[in-house]
Amino acid sequence: MKWSALIGLVFAGALMVYSSPELPPFGASNTPPDTHVSPRYIEKGPEETGAENQVTGVIVDYRGFDTLFETSVIMIAGLATALILWGDHRERDP
């Protein structure tokens, strides 16, 4: 199992390295992530959201709905951990 996994993964790694020049070079500024929405967030961000830190303006103001559900996911994970271990605690010493 180990040798076949290793050979398969080395082949996949070689494929990834061979096709990496198709991706944008490191530090370029005309890449697809940099051209559609993010120039507007950078240019109008401090005056529309009132936050000079543009990352805070993006996560709390422009994309605030995402952050709401992500916070609820964290809460559900904490409650799930508490319930898994609390049930066992009651089972072991009643």
Partner 1 sequence: MLHHILDWYNYWVIALLMLVGIYGMMAKKNLLKKLMGMNILQVGVILFWLTMSPKLGATIPVFDPALGTPIKAVDYANPVPQALMLTAIVVGIATTGVALALLIRIHRRYGTLEEDEILEKMR
Partner 2 sequence: MTGVYDSAIVRFAARVQAPLLQMYALYVLLHGDFSPGGGFQAGAALAGSFLIPRIAVGMEKGKRVMTTPRATVCAVCGVIVYGGTGLLCLILGGHYFLDYSALEHLPWPMPHGGPTRAIGSLIVEIGVAMTVMGVMITLFDDLLQEAGSGL
Interaction site with partner 2 (CB under 8 A): 46-53, 55-57, 59-61, 64-65, 67-68, 71-72, 74-75, 77-79, 81-82, 85-86, 89
Q: Which of partner 1, partner 2, none does residue 49 bind (CB under 5 to 8 Å by kind)?
A: partner 2
- Separation between Cα atoms, residue 80 and residue 33, nearest integer Å: 36
Decide if residue 18 touches partner 1 (CB under 8 A). no
Residue appearing with tokens 């070079």: 25
Nearer Cβ to partner 2 (36/89): 89
Question: What's the rounded Cα separation, in Å, for the pair 35 and 22?
Answer: 18
Left, alpha or beta for 93 (phi > 0: left; psi -120 to 50: alpha)?
beta
CA–CA dist 90, 94 (Å, integer): 5
50 near partner 1 (CB under 8 A)? no
Instruction: Verify binding: residue 28, partner 1, rule CB under 8 A.
Output: yes
